[in-house]
Amino acid sequence: MWDDMRAVILGGGDVVFDQRVRVTAPANAEDALNVPVMVDASGLDAEDEVEEIVVFADMNPIPRILNYRPAGAKPLIGFRLKLQQATPIRAAARTRDGVWHVGGVFVDAAGGGCTSPALAHSDPQWERHLGEVQARAWAPAADGGVRVRFRVRHPMDTGLAPGIPAFYLESLAVRDGDARDLGQIDLFEPVSENPVFTLEVSPSAGSRSLCLTGRDNNGTPVLADIPLSWRQSALP
Amino acid sequence: MRLILTIVLCVAWTLPGWAAGPTYRLEPRRIALDTYVFEGAVEHFTQENGGNILNSGFIVTDEGVIVIQTGPSLRYGEEMRAAIAKVTGKPILKVFVSNQHPDYFLGSQAFADVPIAALPGTIDGIRVEGRAVTENMYRLVGDWMRGTDAVVPTEAVLPATQVYGGHRLRLISLSGHTPADLAIYDETTRVLFAGGLVFSDRAPTTPHADIPRWLESLDVLAALDVAVLVPNHGTVRSDGSAISQTRDYLDWLTAALSRAAEGGLDMTEAMALGIPPRFSSLAVVQEEFIRSVAHLYPKIEQSVLIKIN
């Protein structure tokens, strides 16, 4: 199983299992539609910069969960995913030298997460809310990172629920006030409906807001300006 | 060697769990006049306890027996009925099911010949979620569940006081632990079967919880003159301390999660929060806290994220 996952998901490159890639998730998935996961590879930073984090779940019908490229951000990402059954959840962090550092946890689940229709479909008005963003950024902690959390309204249909085609956010990107790339996320079908993300970014000193952009696999755009409220005063 | 193996097999065969399948060994405990409780383990559903984590009970009235909750499986319901028959030869009059959670109603097949009464909201909940809940119980406790199917209660309870063979039972329609929570107060003995709303030395569970409504329901129960309180899980008490213990935990839980969301914590970080020492006496508090974060945090965090577009 692991050999297959390694070949399919990570392709080439050296692979080491590395406890510094911390994957946190509850041992039991209370809600198979919303299993919280946090990946923190900042333990690798001292040695080498993390260019990309690839998250996957071996036993999921769609094993790819997301890729994250933290350009101006800590190699840390929190989100929630849908699980179809008990599975390892792994994160592979690729450092600049091309080596994949792999960490993971095992999550038990009653399952059914990927083949259930999104709750949104019980609301006939769901399309009106597509792409809506709720977000907030928190003033920097001691280590200088700006914690930002955002939620995007989207059904994130896997295509595995009968009669509902795959319809999901494919990409999200965060930029600072100078249009500098802070982090890019490629999303796959198992990311939860109305996904909520936690990132820690380093915007330029002059940034008064963060810009969140993205689109789904039908081309629907996502666009939101997330204020850095502590840098904004009443005066222009 | 072969002799030893034969002996081992013979001994094992006589143990429960081999020939006849596992048994719950249900022993009713008399807690008041005519009133008995089967006390469950203060644990999670496991393959070992077979889902026996609930305090079910019964009242032997002059007309017949009132059964309160039917337990987690057909086997439990059957054993419960056999144990009741050892206490009294009177017929079963009626079964009450307090909420839609699996350990309250999955023994109902053993009582299919009598009315099974529940609040309308509980009946709806079992109709919608009963099958999925039953399947998950098979996954969690395994063979104990053999033959168990969800039975939708047959009679809707309206809040009223009903008299059964000399016992005046006040049926109280509440909510908050689930969309419909039935508490049964026996005015004759002042025994309160609190249903899912009160936990005693066991951390509350929140998969269907609406905590503000739950706290209001606790106010209603706290106002009753109670001689014996039967919580759904944990120690039977002769005072209302389990009500205040449940309230204390729910108050802390909501405040802690609101603070976490306001501080920008991710759900996994909220799950790692410390639990105050005063709750360390609550069984399975660590596991239940993590489950509660999964149940409650999405809504709480939404309330602190600002709508942008």
pLDDT at A197: 98
A172 lies in which domain range? 2-6+17-110+128-231
pLDDT at A112: 67
CA distance B307 to chain A (A): 4
pLDDT in tens, B200-247: 999 999 999 999 999 999 999 999 999 999 999 999 999 999 999 999
Query: Does residue B309 lie within any of the structural domains?
Result: no
A232 touches chain B (CB under 8 A): no
For residue A111, is pLDDT > 70? no
Higher-confidence residue of B133 and B57: namely B57
For residue A226, is pLDDT > 80? yes
Decide if A30 and B302 are in contact by the 8 Å CB cutoff. Answer: no
Nearest CB neighbour to B268, from listed A31, A36, A138: A36
Decide if B301 and A223 are in contact by the 8 Å CB cutoff. Answer: no
- Token digits for B33? 């006049």
Query: Does residue A116 lie within any of the structural domains?
Result: no
Question: Mean pLDDT across the stretch B89-101?
Answer: 97
Query: Does residue A210 lie within any of the structural domains?
Result: yes
Which of A39, A147, A149, A212 best tests the B interface by mutation, with the highest count of B CBs <10 A?
A149
Which of A136, A200, A230 best tests the B interface by mutation, with the highest count of B CBs <10 A?
A136
Decide if A34 and B298 are in contact by the 8 Å CB cutoff. Answer: yes
pLDDT at B19: 46
- Token digits for B40? 């469950």
pLDDT at B234: 92
Q: H-type helices in B223-302, by residue range? A: 241-262, 267-271, 285-302
Q: What is the mean pLDDT of chain A?
A: 92
A105 touches chain B (CB under 8 A): no
Q: How confident is the model at residue A46 (pLDDT cuts 50, 70, 90)?
A: confident
Query: Does residue A12 lie within any of the structural domains?
Result: no
Q: How confident is the model at residue B67 (pLDDT cuts 50, 70, 90)?
A: very high
Q: How many CB atoms lie within 10 A of CB A233?
A: 8
Higher-confidence residue of B201 and A110: namely B201
Q: Which CATH number is A71's domain given? A: 2.60.40.2470
Nearest CB neighbour to B266, from listed A78, A133, A136: A78
Q: How many domains does chain A have?
A: 1
Decide if B264 and A149 are in contact by the 8 Å CB cutoff. Answer: yes
Query: Does residue A118 lie within any of the structural domains?
Result: no
pLDDT at A13: 84
B273 touches chain A (CB under 8 A): no
A26 touches chain B (CB under 8 A): yes
Query: Does residue A94 lie within any of the structural domains?
Result: yes
pLDDT at B4: 57
Q: H-type helices in A72-229, by residue range? A: none
pLDDT at A88: 95
* DSSP-assigned beta bridge partners for residue A196: A151
Decide if A135 and B268 are in contact by the 8 Å CB cutoff. Answer: no
Nearest CB neighbour to B268, from listed A78, A224, A225: A78
Nearest CB neighbour to A133, from listed B266, B301, B308: B308
Which of B133, B265, B289, B309 best tests the A interface by mutation, with the highest count of A CBs <10 A?
B309
pLDDT in tens, B5-49: 555 554 544 444 444 678 999 999 999 999 999 999 988 899 999
Query: Does residue B129 lie within any of the structural domains?
Result: yes
Whether ipTM > 0.90 holds is: yes
pLDDT in tens, A60-104: 999 999 999 999 999 999 999 999 999 999 999 999 999 999 999
Of the candidate ranges A189-193, A201-205, A214-218, A229-233, the one whose mean pLDDT is the lowest: A229-233
Burial A9-29 (b: 16+ CB within 10 A, else e): bbeeeeeeebeebbbbbbebb
* DSSP-assigned beta bridge partners for residue A133: A152
- Token digits for B36? 């008995």
Q: Which amino acid is at B200?
A: S
Decide if A36 and B264 are in contact by the 8 Å CB cutoff. Answer: no
CA distance B37 to chain A (A): 30
pLDDT at B17: 46
Q: What is the mean pLDDT of chain B?
A: 93
CA distance A106 to chain B (A): 15
CA distance A74 to chain B (A): 15
> Percentage of chain A with pLDDT > 90?
76
Nearest CB neighbour to B291, from listed A30, A136, A150: A30
Residue B45, SS3 per DSSP? coil
Query: Does residue A61 lie within any of the structural domains?
Result: yes
CA distance B119 to B153: 9
Cα A89–chain centre separation: 13
Number of residue pairs across A and B with CB atoms under 8 Å? Answer: 74
pLDDT in tens, A157-212: 999 988 899 999 999 999 999 999 999 999 999 999 999 999 999 999 999 999 99
CA distance A228 to chain B (A): 12
pLDDT at A236: 52
Query: Does residue A158 lie within any of the structural domains?
Result: yes
CA distance A25 to chain B (A): 6
Q: Which amino acid is at B296?
A: L
Q: How many CB atoms lie within 10 A of CB A205?
A: 9
Decide if B294 and A134 are in contact by the 8 Å CB cutoff. Answer: no
A108 touches chain B (CB under 8 A): no
pLDDT at B86: 98
A52 CB-contact burial (10 Å; exposed 0-12 / middle 13-18 / buried 19+): middle
Decide if B302 and A151 are in contact by the 8 Å CB cutoff. Answer: yes
CA atoms within 13 A on the CB side of A188: 18
Q: How many domains does chain B have?
A: 1
Q: How many CB atoms lie within 10 A of CB B7?
A: 10
> Percentage of chain A with pLDDT > 70?
97
Nearest residue in chain A measured CA to CA from B303: A134
B284 touches chain A (CB under 8 A): no
Decide if B306 and A78 are in contact by the 8 Å CB cutoff. Answer: no
A147 touches chain B (CB under 8 A): yes
- Token digits for B64? 């017949």
pLDDT at B18: 45
Nearest CB neighbour to A38, from listed B135, B266, B294: B266
pLDDT at A141: 74
Question: Mean pLDDT across the stretch B289-301?
Answer: 96
Q: Which CATH number is B123's domain given? A: 3.60.15.10
- Token digits for B273? 């929060």
The region that residue A65 occupies, defined by phi over 0 for left and psi between -120 and 50 for alpha, beta otherwise, is alpha
For residue A12, is pLDDT > 90? no
Nearest CB neighbour to A37, from listed B268, B290, B294: B268
For residue A110, is pLDDT > 80? no
